[in-house]
Amino acid sequence: MKRPLVYPLDRNATKEASDMADFYDETLGFTPNSLFTMMHRPRIANAFKEMNMAVMENKGRVTSALKRQLAYLSSMTTGCRYCEAHAIRAAERYGSEQDKLNNIWEYKTYPAFSDAERAVFDLAIAASSVPNAVNDEISENMRKHWDDGEIVEILGVIALFGYLNRWNDSMGTQLEEPAAEDGVKYLQKKGWSRGKHKY
């Protein structure tokens, strides 16, 4: 793309945009351009913020690190380079072990991952595929390792990133430099690039 479909607002364009920026600075160290694009319609941005807070809230065994790892695999499946870089950056910031970040593509066999984590990642990839590939085997494996509330939490992350994948790839959101640096650090060796998100 020659330019984003819609340019994001400046963080100081409105008080709402400024408040949104302050909230997200804590999460990633910057506010994503995607949020500033949503701020053209503040109700959309605020609804997303509320959904994000609800989905990423920790209720127990589904840790912040695991949520960001599965967000990465979900985004990788859909091919959204923007969200891949954001998710891997957030995974690092929220406590993912370096060993897991370096070997997440080999989660099915790499010994650092548990069977419960493998079940989550299988679900993330199947649920993010078009057409959807969740089947009885994947469902039964999830129920073997996770209770109903945990499964709802996990699928909430996948669905949230489904929204973000479509938003950012369709919008052609410009990737911010800190996220791009983490994309290069963790993902470039597996073929990642900024793709349409560089201007």
Count up the domains in the chain and report the number: 1
Per-residue confidence (pLDDT) for residue 121, from 0 to 100 = 98
CA distance 42 to 30: 19
Structure confidence by residue, pLDDT tens digits, 138-174: 999 999 999 999 999 999 999 999 999 999 999 999 9
16 belongs to a structural domain? no
- In a domain? residue 48: no
52 assigned to some structural domain: no
The CA–CA distances, whole Å, from 145 to 50, 62, 198 equal: 28, 11, 40
The range of the structural domain enclosing residue 185 comes to: 63-193
Whether pLDDT at 27 is above 80? no
Q: Tell me: the pLDDT tens digits for 43-80?
A: 999 999 999 999 999 988 999 999 999 999 999 999 99
Is 13 part of a structural domain of the chain? no
Per-residue pLDDT of 80-108, as tens digits, reads 999 999 999 999 999 999 999 999 999 99
- Give the CA count within 13 Å in the CB-facing half-sphere of 152: 8
List CB contacts of 78: < 8 A, sequence separation 6 or more: 128, 130, 162, 165, 166, 169
- 75 domain-assigned: yes
* Entry pTM: 0.94
Residue 138 in domain: yes
CATH number for position 79: 1.20.1290.10
**Residue 43 covered by a domain:** no
The amino acid that residue 7 corresponds to is Y
Q: What share of the chain is helix, strand, coil (3-state, %, to 5)?
A: 70, 0, 30
Residue 21 lies in a domain: no
